Amino acid sequence: MFYGDNDPITLKSNVLQLYKQLPNVILLEEIPYRLFTHMDFLWSIDGKALLYDRVIEVMQEFESGSNTSFR
């Protein structure tokens, strides 16, 4: 689960509550930019560097089995 600390639609407290309730979350990660909001997931100019490169990295680790925390 990726989230932005400045998101007025999906509050950090709600993300953390959902994280605790879901049994199969393999990752909880805050976007490393304090002003990242809900719409930035789609429209951010820096979305590739702030989010999507990391999403691809996680997917590749999962697929290759190189990260044992995914098992």
Q: Are strands 2-3 and 29-30 parallel, antiparallel or unpaired?
A: parallel
Q: What pTM was estimated for this model as a whole?
A: 0.84
Number of domains in the chain: 1
pLDDT digits (tens, 9 = 90+) for 10-65: 999 999 999 999 999 989 999 999 999 999 999 999 999 999 999 999 999 988 88
**Which residue range forms the structural domain that includes residue 8?**
2-67
Q: How far is Cα of residue 29 from the mean position of the Cα atoms in its chain?
A: 5
Q: How far is CA 17 from CA 3, 41, 57, in A?
A: 13, 20, 25
Local structure of residue 39 (DSSP, 8 states): T
Bigger pLDDT: 7 or 68?
A: 7
